[in-house]
Structure formats: structure tokens, C-alpha cells
Amino acid sequence: MTLEANNHPAAARVAVDIGSTVVKIAHVEDGGNLISQEFYPRDFEAGIARQVEGLLRSFDISPDRPDVLVCSSANGGLRVGIACLTKRFSGAALRDQVLLAGANPVFVRDLDEKDGSNLGYVDLLLVGGGIDCDDAAPLKQRLKRFDPGSYRYGTLLFAGNRHLADLFCHRFPQAKVVPNPLAGELVSRTNSVFEVVRRAYLDDLVYKEGVSELRSNLSSGVRPTPEVVNLGFQRAVLNRSSIGVIAPCVLLDVGGATTDLHYTVEIVRDDSETKPSSAGCSVSRYVFTDLGIVASRDSLLLQLRSHPRLYEFLGQVLSGDVTETYRLFREGEYQPSPELLAYGCLFLALDRFAHGRGPGLPSADLAKIAQVILTGGGAQLLSEDVVARVMEMLVSTRSSKPVILIDRRYQVWVEGIAWSEHAIAATANQ
């Protein structure tokens, strides 16, 4: 069947999202409005290339077509660790660009902190600090003491004072050098780490998920889905979208491996010790790498089982015998439905956001939230009424209830992937 046969304009853009469990094919107007979309379970036996190219052909779309837009979250996102001179300046600049690139900053630590092995494996270990200047004796001494062997990582990157790059590479010949994001002053340098991490994400997809088997015109332009969703959220907040947004607001992308929190920065408490990483930007993002309904199911259940408000949470989301379910849950004998797991991601993410429980996560005043937007595969299982009850549980002292919007058509993704390259570049430069 052709696009024309389905009343789709021949000039419509085609967008593809390769997820952990689902492949989405959408037809999008040039301005970003959704024409139609279809959802297909991942065919792991066929592999990504055969399935995606076959789906495109089923719509009479040539896989060689140069303007097909592709994004992927098939491997749950690139994990990045940051060791830096100061968390407030170099650490914040590095984390900001890692987030913009759609990767997941797992931790931000000072150079002198010991034993990073208990933090888990990261695909990239970014080491940075200082502005580009010759007189950098304090940083030089700390770099001489730094031991990356205490971390578990795949690739080592140096993104600090460029005058110390040779010293770092002499000590660690396997390291690669990235331009210092702070440059010669405490102002973030455009795209230095952003582009490197973004390319590393694509390389990661190539090696782990078979995206390299796609034709070059498709694989070369693959973008991380978290980056795309963040662009869609920014577009909505800036009133450049068909999605109606009431600020201040949060967006939760509930997936199989992670739950991504996107929020307008005015929600952050004035007394929060940690501030949003996206300085000068109206929105920011945080990734809960341990909250997901499939790949992160075990860690999600562990956190729910030990949460002091588990009984109250179950009372909000279940209609059956809460007491018996609570007992089975605590004893590890309860097998929750995917729906309950999705509500668990929502509850834990916002509860941790309220208290700043996470490396680099600010503490938020949830009472300021005027709207909650939910997207992603897990969000499709949710009910607006139950989400509202969970919000009442988390914020019991508010006079008005936030508007609940469940993105059942994945409109946020569509708006993000359809945004122009010019808009992407402008976002990365902020």
C-alpha cells in the first residue's frame, strides 16, 4: 500500500522509533503534525534491519529514501560516569551535555573520591575540570593522583583543561581527548562533549543492537529516543507544538529499562542543594536507570518492597484486598501486573524527585506542578484517575489538582523527531 493510497501526502515525513519491545512507524506532516502511526512488536528473530526495512516496504516506502527519520532506545541508553574537579562547574557542564546527547549520567564524582567500582559499570568515563589555562597546578596534582582503575568502564575520555591533556594521555594511553566544555572561561562550549557522546551512543547502538545492519542512509542518522522526547517536551513548553502544556509541569517517559523525568526548572525548590544541569534552559531531564517495567523490573520491585509508603501506594492503585497483597509483596511472593509496575515507576520517580534522592537530582516542590504528562510504553497502561490519586498521595497539601495528560498517541515523540535540525542545534547550544 502506498502513502497516497492511504491519503498520506507524498511529501509526508516518515519517522521510525526502534524501542526495546516495539517499533513505531509514523507519517508526519512537514510542520510536525501526526498523520498516522502504527505499532509493531519487535521481531527479535528477524533482527532490526530486516524488520524495519520490511515494515517500510509494506508502506511502499523505499528503505533507500533519504529523509526517513530514525531514533532508538533499544538498549536502554548509554551509561556515562563523570569524575571532575568540581561538581558545580565542570561536573555540571559535563552532565548537561551528556543529558542533551540523550545519554544517562549515572554518577558525578570528585576526582579525589575513591572506589567507584560499587557504582556499577558505565560505557563512558568522562574526566574533566578547569578552564583552559597554563597555570593549573592544583588540577595537575589531582590528575596525577587520579586512578580510573577504581571504576568499571568501557571507554575513558578526558574533557578537562587542554593544557593537561598530554599529561593525562601519557598516564592513560587508551584515553581519548574531548574539547574542554568550559573552554577559557566558565561558559559551556558548544557541542564539545554533546557531539562526542551522541556519536558514542550511536556507536553503542551499532555494536549492541544491530542498527549497523540498516542501510547507511538510515543508520547514519539514528538519534537517541531520550533526546527526541526532550526536544518534543521543549517544543511543547515553548508553545511550538500541538500539545497543550500548562507550566510548571513534568513529563515522565515510562519505559522497559528506564524512566526519564523531564521537567520545567521552576519546580525545583529554592533551597535545593543541587540545581538543574541545563543552565539557561527552561527544562531539564533526569534518568532513573533503575526504574522500568521490563529490564529494570527487579530493581523496581526491590525499591517498592522496601518503601515505607508501600501500603498506602497499593491502596491508591489496587481495587482488591490491599492487606493480603501488601503481605505477599513484602515477602517477595507477589507477581505484580505491568500496570502496577508502571504506577510504581511514576510513584518512585516523583517521590525521589521530591526529596532529591539521586546523584545530581535536585529536590522539587511537587505542589507547584500544574500538569503531569505521561508518555512511553509503560504510560499506555495507566489511567488518569489512578495517576491523580497517586499525585494526591504525594502532595496532600495542595488546593488544586494537576492536569493529567497521557500521551496515548506518542505525540511528544512525533513532535520531537519532526523538529528541524536547526532547532536541535539551537537546543544543544543552550
What CATH number does residue 185 fall under? 3.40.50.2300
**Is 291 or 213 the better-scoring residue by pLDDT?**
291
| Per-residue pLDDT tens over the stretch 22-67 | 888 988 876 667 888 888 988 878 888 889 999 999 888 888 888 8
Q: Do residues 99 and 59 share a domain?
A: no
All three cell numbers of 50, joined, read 530486516
| Per-residue pLDDT tens over the stretch 64-80 | 888 888 888 765 567 88
Residue 428 confidence class, pLDDT cut points 50, 70, 90: very low
Q: Do residues 411 and 280 share a domain?
A: yes
Arithmetic mean of pLDDT, 336-365: 93
Within a domain: 297: yes
Residue 279 has what pLDDT? 54
Q: Which of 198, 212, 263 is nearest to 234 (CA)?
A: 263
Q: Do residues 304 and 260 share a domain?
A: yes
Q: Do residues 165 and 84 share a domain?
A: yes
- Which residue type does 188 have? S
| Per-residue pLDDT tens over the stretch 186-208 | 555 555 687 777 677 656 655 56
Domain, as residue range, for 25: 4-67
Q: Do residues 41 and 98 share a domain?
A: no
Which pTM was predicted?
A: 0.74
Among residues of the chain, what percentage have pLDDT more than 70? 85
Cα atoms in the 13 Å half-sphere on the side-chain side of 95:
29
Highest mean pLDDT among 93-102, 186-195, 236-245, 385-394: 385-394
| Per-residue pLDDT tens over the stretch 219-251 | 767 787 888 898 999 999 988 888 889 999 999
Q: Do residues 152 and 116 share a domain?
A: yes
Q: Do residues 52 and 129 share a domain?
A: no
Q: Do residues 337 and 245 share a domain?
A: yes
Within a domain: 219: no
Q: Do residues 251 and 182 share a domain?
A: no
Q: How many domains does the chain have?
A: 3
Within a domain: 215: no
Q: Do residues 83 and 123 share a domain?
A: yes
Within a domain: 421: no
Q: Do residues 57 and 96 share a domain?
A: no
